[in-house]
Amino acid sequence: MSDKEVAHRYISSRPGRSYRLQEGALHDERTDYNHSSRVKGNNHTQIEDYHVHHYNRRLLASGTISPPIIAILSGVAVFLGVILLALMLVCRKKVKPWFGRLRLCASISPSIPRLKKSRSERSQIFDPSLKAISMREIAKATDNFSPRKLIGDGGFGFVYKATLSDGRIVAVKTLVADGIQGKREFEAEMSTLGHIKHPNLVELLAFCKAGDDRALVYEYIANGSLDTWLHEREDGPRLLTWERRIKLAHGTAKVLAYLHHEYEPHVIHRDIKSSNILVGKDFEAKLADFGLARHMSPLLSHVSTEAAGTLGYVAPECNMTMSASRKSDVYSFGVLMLELVSGCRPNTAPENSKCGTLVKWTHYAIASGKQMDTIDPVLKERGPPFKELTTFLKIASLCTSDSPDNRPTMKEALQQLSQLRTEIAQVRNHTE
């Protein structure tokens, strides 16, 4: 009988143990026999260890399993592993963002929450029409946080579509447990959305906290995010007419002007982008996600903070000075305006353009008198009129100035957009 047959007979005679061929030798999976003196066990285990070691030596000495065969087997294993990984990536379900982000700040990889039993639970209702809510009811409303209910994800948690016991459909945002940044986000959203009411804000209905588990309950916006309309939905760009795009920009400007100039203490959002603008049923803008928001005294020009935001939307000075101001929100809003008119993402520009970003490309086009080149191809079929386009681009260009001092305030940007909407309405009424 060959050494290989002896080894396999030995393995089959001991089904309770797990072995593998390693480096051409029989190896017990439970322990490393090259260091058997460090492993404590009874006499029977020590005898088995001796036999395994003995067969290892015989197999290696006889050269039954040659190095080329080992190399071939290893190559096959690697190839099969790559195939399996590719299949997993292809079959993986894509989640379209309801609202989420890829931020500059250190993010925590979220995991699907598992409800833990906790003696201490605290909740608060902001909508009088909503009954008392508990973490257990939230778990039930999301089918125990089922992936089928997932409508968005971000650096600090997930967003689920949930149906409460009274039949009301809401959006539930869970934040990762044990994450410092997640706790900061929870506190930021509680201190802003929980106390601010505005028609262009996503309404926070309630929150619930049980131990390390935290959940925020929002009104559900069925249309999803502006990012989805511009870049994901096949019919999105066509349905986003020129008038609707201006309306979305105007609504976003209204709520930012309110946060910057009317609400006290003033609020800096710090993460203005298309995926955080939800589209209402009448195409009104709904600003969401205040996880990075900061309160700010009216007497201060900026607040010191870590670099945060989303690539492409972040103002140049934020990374250099490690501070944020109202003018940094203005810059992000200007990028959003350019995204609305062009249909391009902030970090992209036309292939034939030498400019790497949307902001640089648009500034170059305006300076070269090529404003019409910046329009979303879908919009070119029906306008917009050149005068309206140049006015819109002028506001966006000022908002995205490199120097904060050259940017308008959100109040000034709102006034200019309001005037543009009035002029458009007058022209439409006159032609009709």
Feature table: binding site for ATP: 173
Cβ 152 vs Cβ 288: under 8 Å = no
The C-alpha atoms of residue 33 and residue 26 are separated, in whole angstroms, by 10
Q: Please, is 165 exposed, middle or buried when counting C-beta atoms within 10 Å of its C-beta (0-12, 13-18, 19+)?
A: exposed
Tokens linked to 398: 């000022």
Name the token pair of 182.
Answer: 């997640």
Determine contact, residues 231/259, Cβ cutoff 8 Å: no
**In a 3-state reduction of DSSP, which class is residue 155?**
coil
The answer to whether residue 143 is catalytic is no
Task: Determine the distance from the C-alpha atom of residue 393 to the mean position of all C-alpha atoms in its chain, rounded to a whole number.
Answer: 28
Residues 6+ apart with CB under 8 A from 384: 242, 375, 392
| CA-based radius of gyration for the chain | 30
Picking from 390, 372, 425, the residue whose alpha carbon sits closest to that of residue 243 is 425
Q: How far is it between the farthest Cα atoms of the chain?
A: 101
Q: Please give the torsion angle defined by the CA atoms of residues 296, 300, 305 and 308, in that order, rounded to the nearest 10 degrees.
A: 70
Cβ atoms of 389 and 375 closer than 8 Å:
yes
Annotated binding site: 173
Q: Would you say 141 and 96 are in contact if contact means Cβ atoms under 8 Å apart? A: no
Residues near 284 by beta carbon (within 8 Å), at least 6 away in sequence: 199, 200, 247, 248, 251
Q: How far apart are CA 269 and CA 200, in angstroms?
A: 14
Annotated catalytic residue within 28, 271, 329, 376:
271
Task: Provide the β-strand partners of residue 131.
Answer: none
Active site residues: 271
